[in-house]
């Protein structure tokens, strides 16, 4: 278990003044596309096996085994297969994919080409976030280079049988299009509304055909894996969360930025060694993987940042994208949660009732707490809303509402005193209302809250 040299960021130095875009020639000169050459001599099943053996888990947030995902694609071809690359990086606090595309676009393209061989894909769509103008341009140029050097195009990848076309598709600014089926709908030119599952994208994805959807960072790991093998990959990280990981450090830290380390470093280590320590005050909390994953509290500095420890010891939904927002002791946690929930209320796609209304209600209630109108019942209402939404209780189509729920749950549970201080117990007048033959005691104002 050791992380000795940068893997994904080997062409991107820490010093901003030394960074430059690695176009095709530079990329090949630094050992690029050798993994792809090797992959063209392998069968799809072999590649999938290498990826499965390595224990590579999706870096987009859910942490699902990449090899398993590829194995779901039907072996029998009855039409085109698609590869959708999820570069719709919209999770607040996450900016790792942008960094990879910014300086090392061919690493991604090489990963795409190898994945296409493994899953017999004919067309790869890079669905990139609408706001990533520069990155889209970088990709366009890199793809043009790849076409010119016989990676993409009709002649097949380096003349092999796998023919792959690659396109950049730019999003139109909705967070929900980063959800895989929302992404597919958007890709098809429809409204970005997540689909009911089953069928899963591996069976009926883009245009009703089998589709692989992978995150940019996941695909960037693939060339290194092919080149150096699963055993090397497993030397990094923990047994269940292997490999390198990009940590997007932001918030109250001295050196915010994207840092690479292995999975399973502690929160303390990431703040002290990667981000250069706290800024402006002592550590209070950290949002560990984009706001949807929830928050780590003051006594959770020893939690390991991998797919499991954050969940089981940290009480979060998962590691997510490892976009860390570190908060210092002067942060108002109620305001921080309101800020998060405002994002959800704004970005909910509006399809399922719980999410559409629940997120709006959470924002409404938190705003009134912050504005000084908090009531004792407000926290109960927030927790009731939080418990009844998401795919975990089964009340929504996609996992968006789980994110809302988890942020709210962890914020309130871990900083209960801060919230309770703003929600004073109010004097309650009991009214007796005659309703039919029953006398019902109703606290005053209960139907106007």
Partner 1 sequence: MVAAPVVNITVNGKAISARPGQTVLQAAADAGIEIPALCNHPHLRPEGSCRVCLVEIEKQRTLQPACTFPVADGMVVQTESAKAVESRKMVLQMIFSERSHYCMYCQMSGTAQSTDCELQKLGYRYGLNHWSYGPNYAKNWPIDATRTHFVMDHARCILCRRCVRACQQIAANHTLGVQQRGFKTMICADDNVQFGESSCVSCGTCLQVCPTGALADRRSAYRGHESEVTRTKAVCLGCSVGCGIEAITRDNQLLRVEGDWKAGNEGMLCSVGRFDVVEPKPVRIMWPMVRTDGRLVETSWDKALTFAAGKFRQAHRVAGLASPRLPNEALAAFACFFHEVLMSNEVGLLYGEDPPLELGQPAVLHDVAASDCIVIIAGNPMKQQKVVGHLIKRAYDNDARIIVVNDRPTELDSYAHLRLQLQDVSYHGESPFEQLKNTYHLRGTGVSQLKAAVEAAQRPVVLYGGGLTTTVYAALRALPAKVHFLPLINGTNAAGAARLGLRPRPVHGEALYVMVGDDLPDGMVLPHRQFTLVQSAYRSAWTESADVVLPAMIWAEMKGHMINIEGRSLPVAPLLVAPKSVHACWETLLQLSMRIGYSLSFDEISDISKAVV
Binding footprint of partner 1 on the chain (CB under 8 A): 174, 176, 191, 196, 345-354, 356-361, 381, 384, 388, 391-397, 435, 442, 446-449
The nearest distance, CB 427 to partner 1, in angstroms, is 20
Q: Which is nearer to partner 1, 117 or 176 (CB)?
A: 176
CA 436 and chain centroid, separation: 53
Smallest gap from Cβ 341 to partner 1, in A, equals 12
Query: What is the three-class DSSP state of 242?
Result: strand
The Cα 113–Cα 107 span in angstroms is: 10
Residue 228 vs 356, nearer CB to partner 1 = 356
Measured from the CB atom, is 129 or 252 closer to partner 1?
129
Query: Cα–Cα distance between 41 and 306 in angstroms, integer?
Result: 34
Q: Compare residues 3 and 343 and give the one whose CB is closer to partner 1.
A: 343
Q: Is 134 exposed, middle or buried (0-12, 13-18, 19+ CB in 10 A)?
A: exposed
Contact 319, 94 (CB under 8 A): no
Closer to partner 1 by Cβ: residue 175 or 307: 175
- Taking the complex as a whole, the smallest distance from the CB of residue 113 to partner 1 amounts, in Å, to 33
Cα(247)–Cα(269) distance, integer angstroms:
12
Whole-number minimum distance, CB 441 to partner 1, in Å? 12
| Burial tier of 433 (Cβ tally within 10 Å: 0-12, 13-18, 19+) | exposed
- DSSP letter at 253? B
Q: Find the shortest distance in angstroms from Cβ 196 to partner 1.
A: 5
Q: Which CB atom, from 345 or from 412, has the smaller least distance to partner 1?
A: 345
Q: Which of 342, 349, 362, 339 is nearest to 396 (CA)?
A: 349
Sheet strands (E) in 59-132: 82-87, 123-128
Compute the distance between CA of residue 399 and CA of residue 411 in angstroms, rounded to an integer: 19
| Minimum distance, C-beta of residue 205 to partner 1, in the bound complex (Å) | 17
Cβ–Cβ < 8 Å for 102, 21: yes
- For β-strands 211-215 and 82-87, DSSP reports them as parallel
**Cβ proximity to partner 1, 132 vs 175, nearer residue:** 175
Shortest Cβ distance from residue 380 to partner 1 (Å)? 10
Tell the smallest beta-carbon distance from residue 347 to partner 1 (Å): 7
Nearest to 76 by CA among 209, 213, 188, 181: 209
User: Is cis: bond before 368, omega within 30 of 0?
Assistant: no
Nearer Cβ to partner 1 (153/393): 393
């Amino acid at each position: 278990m050791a992380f000795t040299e940068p893997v994904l960021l080997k062409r991107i130095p820490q010093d901003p003044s030394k960074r430059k875009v690695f176009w095709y020639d530079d990329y090949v000169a630094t050992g690029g596309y050798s993994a792809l050459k090797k992959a063209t001599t392998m069968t799809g099943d072999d590649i999938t096996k290498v990826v499965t053996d390595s224990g590579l888990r999706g870096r987009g947030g859910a942490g699902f085994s990449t090899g398993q995902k590829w194995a779901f694609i039907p072996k029998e071809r009855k039409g085109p297969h698609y590869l959708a690359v999820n570069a719709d990086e919209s999770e607040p606090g996450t900016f790792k994919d942008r960094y990879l595309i910014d300086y090392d676009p061919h690493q991604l393209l090489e990963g795409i080409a190898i994945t296409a061989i493994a899953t017999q894909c004919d067309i790869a769509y890079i669905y990139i976030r609408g706001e990533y103008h520069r990155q889209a341009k970088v990709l366009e140029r890199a793809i043009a280079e790849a076409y010119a050097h016989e990676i993409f195009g009709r002649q097949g990848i380096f003349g092999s049988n796998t023919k792959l076309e690659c396109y950049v598709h730019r999003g139109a600014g909705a967070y929900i299009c980063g959800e895989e089926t929302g992404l597919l709908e958007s890709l098809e030119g429809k409204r970005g509304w997540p689909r009911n599952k089953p069928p899963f994208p591996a069976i009926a994805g883009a245009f009703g055909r089998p589709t692989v959807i992978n995150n940019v960072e996941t695909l960037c790991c693939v060339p290194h894996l092919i080149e150096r093998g699963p055993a090397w990959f497993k030397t990094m990280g923990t047994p269940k969360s292997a490999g390198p990981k990009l940590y997007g450090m932001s918030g109250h830290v001295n050196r915010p930025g994207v840092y690479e380390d292995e999975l399973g470093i502690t929160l303390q280590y990431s703040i002290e060694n990667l981000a250069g320590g706290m800024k402006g005050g002592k550590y209070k909390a950290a949002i560990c993987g984009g706001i949807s994953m929830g928050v780590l509290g003051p006594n959770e500095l020893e939690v390991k940042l991998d797919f499991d420890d954050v969940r089981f010891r940290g009480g979060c939904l998962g590691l997510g994208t490892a976009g860390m927002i570190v908060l210092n002791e002067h942060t108002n946690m109620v305001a921080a949660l309101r800020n998060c929930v405002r994002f959800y209320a704004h970005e909910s796609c509006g399809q399922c009732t719980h999410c559409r209304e629940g997120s709006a209600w959470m924002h409404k209630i938190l705003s009134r707490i912050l504005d000084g109108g908090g009531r004792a019942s407000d926290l109960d209402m927030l927790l009731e809303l939080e418990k009844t939404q998401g795919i975990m209780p089964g009340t929504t189509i996609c996992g968006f509402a789980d994110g809302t729920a988890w942020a709210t749950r962890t914020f309130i549970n871990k900083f209960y005193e801060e919230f309770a201080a703003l929600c004073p117990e109010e004097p309650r007048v009991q009214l007796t209302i005659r309703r039919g033959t029953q006398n019902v005691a109703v606290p005053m104002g209960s139907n106007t809250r």
